[in-house]
Amino acid sequence: MKRKILFLSLALLLPVIVFLFLKTFGRNQFDIPVYHKDSVEYIAACERIFEAPYVIADSITTEIGWKGNEATLISFSEIPSEGLMRLKEDFEPSQLQIVSLSTSELARLKCIFLVSEKYNAVLLDGKRQIRGYYQLTSREEADRLLMEISILLKDY
């Protein structure tokens, strides 16, 4: 009988102890990767070799009108997508800067931002590091972008 009571109290007490331990010492934290931190793949169209860690140059950020926000989205599409409209609704201009690039310099800037053909947007952090590539016409990608911007704004 004493064994049954011991096993029953252990079975009931163990989850409570684990819960209290995790609640006290655990910490939920999400992180967004920094792209091209260790290496930069060679892109044939660029005809250039980039060094790691890759950070966007000051001259380029000045050229595109970067204001040094904690999060900046560079859009390589002139047509506003549903994802871009959602971003403008969800974030204040002081939190997120959205830069739409013109077609005249598009190929050169796509090369500088290391954007492949399947993506039309890049997320930069306050340190001019690339934090993500996105296809804004896809609902899933737009949702991922919203979540990653929220995480980025909480971390800084």
Instruction: State pLDDT tens for residues 64-86.
Output: 888 888 888 888 876 666 777 88
Q: What percent of the chain has pLDDT over 70?
A: 93
Cα 49 to Cα 42, 74, 130: the distances in Å are 6, 22, 17
CATH top class, domain 33-155? alpha beta
pLDDT at position 25, please? 87
Q: What percent of the chain has pLDDT over 90?
A: 17
Instruction: State pLDDT tens for residues 11-24.
Output: 999 999 999 998 88
pLDDT at position 81, please? 67
Look at the block and give the residue holding tokens 């005249």.
104
Instruction: State pLDDT tens for residues 118-142.
Output: 898 999 998 989 999 999 888 899 8
